């Protein structure tokens, strides 16, 4: 399964944010929703082989991991407002979707969990100073891509990921939005049929 981790430093951990103010009251929930959309949707279909974990670190009760699984997700539309509405429902625990799981664990606990899932788990940390992806021959099969939101991945968390099999990679000299990075990574995986 393709996996992405988005560290969302300001993302709300309460369902009390407004769908009319995702950037403000949602703590950049618009960015989170775009990343989920780009991770899971292609034209007329869902990527059933993909999962995205959002580590929400905003107020009032951080951290919370919100995981969207393409293989079991049902009834969610690929637009920011709908995705954010499902996050609100999941955080309030009022409505369940088999493809959305909320857990009260930290970024580091999530990394440890994914690292222990099986042989060969490899973390790619997106870093503008990393190895240019164009120079990689092939991405590892059991890869997890780790990226930060508009504020980036905190150094403490980056250093924690470095304890495991990893490589820092860059998408070149242009700085892309986190959601765009996910699209580029999918493209690279798709063309190499991994």
Fold of 1-194: Alpha/beta knot (3.40.1280)
d(CA 126, CA 158): 10
Enclosing H/E stretch for 89:
helix 80-92
114: tokens are 């994914």
d(CA 89, CA 82): 11
Task: Please state the length of the chain.
Answer: 194
Enclosing H/E stretch for 85:
helix 80-92
Mean pLDDT by 10 residues, the chain (194 residues): 96 97 96 98 94 97 96 94 96 88 97 89 94 86 93 95 95 93 92 65
In order, the DSSP letters of 93-134 are TSS--TTEEEE---HHHHHHHHHTSSTT-EEEEEEEEEEEGG
Displacement of CA 31 from its chain's centroid (Å):
11
Handedness of CA 134, 136, 140, 143 (dihedral sign): negative
Cβ atoms of 76 and 66 closer than 8 Å: no
Displacement of CA 66 from its chain's centroid (Å):
9
Cβ atoms of 170 and 133 closer than 8 Å: yes
Cβ atoms of 7 and 31 closer than 8 Å: no
In order, the DSSP letters of 163-189 are TSSEEEEE--SSPPPHHHHHHHHHHHH
pLDDT at 194: 46
pTM: 0.95
Cβ atoms of 167 and 28 closer than 8 Å: no
């Amino acid at each position: 399964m393709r996996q992405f981790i988005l560290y969302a430093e300001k993302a709300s951990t309460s369902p009390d944010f407004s769908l009319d103010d995702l950037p403000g009251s949602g703590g950049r929930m618009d960015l989170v929703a775009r990343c989920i959309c780009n991770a899971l949707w292609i034209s007329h279909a869902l990527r059933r082989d993909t999962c995205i974990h959002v580590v929400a670190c905003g107020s009032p009760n951080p951290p919370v991991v919100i995981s969207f699984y393409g293989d079991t997700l049902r009834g969610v539309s690929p637009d920011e407002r709908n995705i954010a509405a499902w996050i609100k429902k999941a955080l309030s625990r009022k409505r369940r979707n088999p493809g959305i799981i909320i857990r009260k664990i930290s970024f580091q606990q999530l990394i440890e969990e994914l690292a222990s899932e099986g042989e060969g788990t490899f973390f790619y940390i997106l870093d503008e100073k990393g190895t240019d992806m164009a120079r990689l021959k092939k991405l590892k099969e059991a890869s997890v891509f780790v990226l930060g939101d508009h504020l980036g991945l905190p150094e403490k968390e980056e250093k924690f990921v470095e304890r495991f099999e990893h490589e820092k990679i860059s998408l070149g000299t242009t700085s892309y939005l986190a959601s765009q990075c996910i699209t580029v990574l999918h493209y690279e995986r798709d063309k190499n049929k991994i």
